[in-house]
Amino acid sequence: MALYYDKTSEAGLHLQSNPMNIPDFTDSELWAVRSTLKERYGKEVEPQLADTEVMHGGETGGMAWCPTLFWSAKGANFAIVKLGSERYRAYFYYHPEYQLGTGIDSHDNIGDCVVSVLQVEADHVRKQKISNDQNPAKTDEAAPDKTDTSPFFWGD
């Protein structure tokens, strides 16, 4: 259930599960996601069901609550948002304030959507590692006995 504010009501607050009538994820969609995640990670990863408020319909549309699948793996968080029947958008992030997408506004196949977000995240990790390898952190040469206080990141 999603909480939203309706300016026209006297009470102002309403509980509504899905104001745009976007269908929930079907059993076959859930199976496709679970199967893809098991293949990717080599173990069962159970996505959680949620609702997410997203911009719907581009600049002319408004905000809408949409059914969402969410999971975390290897330090990253992933979300597949169902925008309509057979329309999906994918995101991943390491911190909620810095979300990344696939570069594709929406997919018409949930399997393609999941594979796309997993591939984009893997590419992002690879690029970060290459960048870090090419530009290593500078050390204080004048104090070789100084303890290393640099932070550890996922994958270290």
Q: Is residue 7 part of a domain?
A: no
Q: How far apart are CA 128 and CA 121, in angstroms?
A: 11
Q: What is the number of domains present in the chain?
A: 1
Q: Is residue 34 part of a domain?
A: yes
pLDDT, tens digit, 9 for 90 and up, residues 58-81: 666 678 889 999 999 988 999 999
Q: Kindly tell me the burial class for residue 114, based on how many C-beta atoms sit within 10 Å of its own C-beta (0-12, 13-18, 19 or more).
A: buried
Q: Which residue has the tokens 């995640």?
A: 37
Say what the alpha-carbon torsion angle 38, 154, 113, 4 is, to the nearest 10 degrees.
110
Q: Is residue 146 part of a domain?
A: no
Report for 18-27, 63-72, 144-153: range of highest mean pLDDT: 63-72
Model pLDDT, residue 148 = 52
Q: How far apart are CA 131 and CA 154, in angstroms?
A: 15
Range of the domain at 124: 23-134
Q: Is residue 57 part of a domain?
A: yes
pLDDT value at 21 more than 50: yes
Q: Is residue 13 part of a domain?
A: no
Q: Is residue 130 part of a domain?
A: yes
Burial per residue of 26-54, b for 16 or more beta-carbon CB atoms within 10 angstroms, e otherwise: eeebbebbbebbeebeeeebebeeebbeb
Q: Is residue 79 part of a domain?
A: yes
Model pLDDT, residue 39 = 95
Q: Is residue 148 part of a domain?
A: no
Average pLDDT, rounded, for the chain: 78
Instruction: Please give the residue that has the higher pLDDT: either 124 or 20.
Output: 124
Q: Is 155 strand, coil or helix? A: coil
